[in-house]
Amino acid sequence: MTPLLLRSQIHALELAHAALPLMQRAGAAIAAYVRQIALPGSRLLVLAGPGNNGGDALVAASLLHHDYVLNVVMFGDPQRLPDQAAQACRDWQASGGELHTALPVLGDTPGYALVLDGLFGIGLARPLQGGAAALVQQVNALGVPVLALDVPSGLCADTGAVLGVAIQARYTLTFLAHKPGLYTHDGPDHAGRVQLARLDVPGPDVADLVAGDAGVAGYGHLLDAPGELHALKRRLNSNKGNHGRVAVIGGAGGMMGAALLAARAALLCGAGRVYAGLLDAQAYGLDYLYPELMLRDPLPLTEVDAADCVVLGPGLGQGDLALYLLEAALRLPAPLVLDADALNLMACTPTCAEQSCARSAATIITPHPGEAARLLACSVAEVQQDRIGSAIRLAQQYAAITVLKGCGSVIATPAGHWWINRSGNPGLASAGMGDVLAGIIAALLVQGLQPQQSVLTAVHLHGAAADGLVASGIGPLGLTASEVGLQARRILNLWLARADAS
C-alpha cells in the first residue's frame, strides 16, 4: 500500500536528505511532466509564491524557457525568498526571464495552454486572503488546465481542507511522497489526477526512510488494493456452517429497507447464514426478493446470541427497545458493527463508551461526518477539518475500528493506524449505501478475515463496486445501494479468482 505522509513527516524527510538537490529535481520533474501535457511553443502561466514551492516553479520555468512562451507571476517579495528559491529566481532572471506582479493582460495574443501553480505547497500556514486569494480566484476563472505543484495552493496537505480558497487543478505533481490531503475531503475535487515524483530519494520505500532515518512514525496508507483474501478461499468440502452467521438488528417502523439492505449485502458477500431481527411489528416474515434471509423478531436474542457478528443500527430508530438492544449488543462476546441510529444512541448515552472499551471482541463503528460530530460532541465542520484526527479520536474513545465515511473514507484503529480509501465516487452519496457497507464488513468477518482486514477490504470493495458500476454507465446519478451490493459480490469473486491464479 502507498504511504501517506503528513507535512511534518515530509519536512523530516527533506531534512534527512538536505544534501540532495531536491528543488532542482522537482523542477526537472515538473518540466518533464509539462512536456507531456502541453505542446511546445504554447504559452504557460507560471505562478511562483514566496517559499520553496515558488522555487520549484522557477526552476521549471528556466528549464522550459526555450521551448514555451512563459509568463511568470511572482507573488511576494523576491528579495525575501528562502535561499534555494532565491537562487532559482536569479537563474530565471539571468536567463532573460521577466517577473510579473499580477496576471498579464494578454489582449489578442493566444491564451494560456497551462498554468503551473507554485504559489503554496506544504508550507501553507493560514487561510488565503487578500492578494493571494484574489490571484487564486482569477486563475480558477481563466478556465485553463492547471498543474498544481506538490499540492493545489490553498489546500491543506494534511487534511484536504480548503483554507479560504484553493486552486482547482486538473493535474497535481506531488513530491517525495503522497499527502493525505490529496485524497480526502475537498482534496480529490481540487487535485485532479495525482502523480508522484519521488525525486530519486534513495531507498526502497520513502516510508522506511521516514521511520528509519528521520525517526518519524505514524504515517498512514492509501487503501488502493484489496489486501490478503486467502481466508475467504473455500474448501471443496464445506457447508454453510463453515461460512459464518451474521445477525442484523434494525428495521424499525418505516425503515425496514435499511436492515434488509445490510442483511442482503451480507448474504451476497458470502455469509453462510444471515438473520435480520426487525423491530417493526408490521414487518413481513419473508424477504420476497431474498427468501434466503431469516427474518425474526429482535427479541428474544436467541439467533443474535449465536451470531458470529452482529450488525446493529440500520433503521434501528432511537426508542427504548433500540437502546435496550444496543446495551445488550455491547455485552455480546461477538464482533459488533455499529452504524446509523446505534451511533446516534451511543452519542447521547455516555455509558456506551465505557461499555465499548470493556468489550473483548472487535467493535467496528462506521459513522458519516454527522454521526461522527455527534459522537465527538463537535460540529460537522470540525470533523471535516481534520478527518484523520477525528477518526483516530473516535477509534480511541470507543476502542473501535472506525470508518469515517465520505469522500476519501478514513479508517482508523485505536492504536492510531490510519488509511484513506481511494475507491468510490459520488454515486455512493445516496440512501442505503452505509447499510450495504455494514453488511459487507460483517460478511467478510464471519468468513474468517481478521476485523481490521475485513474493514479495509469491505471499504475498498464497496467503493470499487460503485466505480465498476459507474464505468459501465450505471451512475453516479441514480446508483442504488442494491446495485452496489450485487456488484460487490461480482468484484469480490473476481478478486478471489485473481488471488487464486497468482
Ligand X SMILES: NC(=O)C1=CN([C@@H]2O[C@H](COP(=O)(O)OP(=O)(O)OC[C@H]3O[C@@H](n4cnc5c(N)ncnc54)[C@H](O)[C@@H]3O)[C@@H](O)[C@H]2O)[C@@H](O)CC1
Binding site for K ion (CB under 5 A): 117, 148-149, 153
**Which of ligand X, K ion, none is residue 117 near (CB under 5 to 8 Å by kind)?**
K ion
**Which of K ion, ligand X, none is residue 153 near (CB under 5 to 8 Å by kind)?**
K ion
| Nearer Cβ to K ion (9/52) | 52
**Which of ligand X, K ion, none is residue 22 near (CB under 5 to 8 Å by kind)?**
ligand X
* Amino acid at the residue 135: L
In the complex, least distance from residue 13 CB atom to ligand X, rounded to whole angstroms: 8
CB 49 within 8 A of CB 78: no
Q: Is 25 annotated as a binding residue?
A: no
Q: Is 474 annotated as a binding residue?
A: no
**Which of ligand X, K ion, none is residue 52 near (CB under 5 to 8 Å by kind)?**
ligand X
Give the distance, in angstroms, between the CA of residue 414 and the centroid of all CA atoms in the same chain: 18
- Which has the closest alpha carbon to 82: 130, 115, 48, 32? 48
In the complex, least distance from residue 184 CB atom to ligand X, rounded to whole angstroms: 18
In the complex, least distance from residue 173 CB atom to ligand X, rounded to whole angstroms: 9
* Torsion sign (Cα): 425, 398, 3, 189: positive
Q: Is 406 annotated as a binding residue?
A: yes
**Which of ligand X, K ion, none is residue 402 near (CB under 5 to 8 Å by kind)?**
none
Instruction: Decide: helix, strand or coil at residue 71.
Output: strand
Q: Is 77 annotated as a binding residue?
A: no
* Amino acid at the residue 41: G
Q: Is 211 annotated as a binding residue?
A: no
**Which of K ion, ligand X, none is residue 23 near (CB under 5 to 8 Å by kind)?**
ligand X
Instruction: Decide: helix, strand or coil at residue 485.
Output: helix
CB 4 within 8 A of CB 220: yes
Q: Is 409 annotated as a binding residue?
A: yes
Whole-angstrom CA distances from 91 to 332, 381, 406 are 69, 44, 45
- Which has the closest alpha carbon to 408: 393, 387, 383, 435? 387
**Which of ligand X, K ion, none is residue 287 near (CB under 5 to 8 Å by kind)?**
none
Whole-angstrom CA distances from 101 to 47, 49, 69, 75, 123 are 10, 11, 17, 6, 21
In the complex, least distance from residue 174 CB atom to ligand X, rounded to whole angstroms: 9
Q: Where are the alpha helices (DSSP H) in 17-82?
A: 22-37, 52-64
In the complex, least distance from residue 360 CB atom to ligand X, rounded to whole angstroms: 45
| Nearer Cβ to K ion (154/251) | 154
- Phi–psi pair at 64, nearest 5 degrees: -100, -5
Q: Where are the alpha helices (DSSP H) in 74-219?
A: 83-94, 130-142, 187-191, 206-212
* Torsion sign (Cα): 245, 247, 248, 251: positive
**Which of ligand X, K ion, none is residue 97 near (CB under 5 to 8 Å by kind)?**
none
In the complex, least distance from residue 209 CB atom to ligand X, rounded to whole angstroms: 13
Three-state SS across 386-423? CHHHHHHHHHHHHCCEEEECCCCCEEECCCCCEEEECC
Q: Is 408 annotated as a binding residue?
A: yes
| Nearer Cβ to ligand X (125/236) | 125
Q: Is 442 annotated as a binding residue?
A: no
| Nearer Cβ to ligand X (23/258) | 23
| Residues near ligand X (CB under 6 A) | 14, 22-23, 26, 49-54, 56, 82, 120-128, 132, 149-150, 175
| Nearer Cβ to ligand X (122/346) | 122
| Nearer Cβ to K ion (24/355) | 24
Residues in the chain: 502
In the complex, least distance from residue 32 CB atom to K ion, rounded to whole angstroms: 17
| Nearer Cβ to K ion (78/251) | 78
Cell of 345: 444512541
* Amino acid at the residue 377: A
Cell of 81: 525568498
Q: Is 140 annotated as a binding residue?
A: no
In the complex, least distance from residue 178 CB atom to ligand X, rounded to whole angstroms: 13
d(CA 182, CA 188): 6
Binding residues for (6S)-NADPHX, by number, are 52-56, 121-127, 150, 258, 315, 368, 435
Binding residues for K(+), by number, are 53, 117, 153
Binding residues, by number, are 52-56, 117, 121-127, 150, 153, 258, 315, 368, 405-409, 434-435
Binding residues for AMP, by number, are 405-409, 434
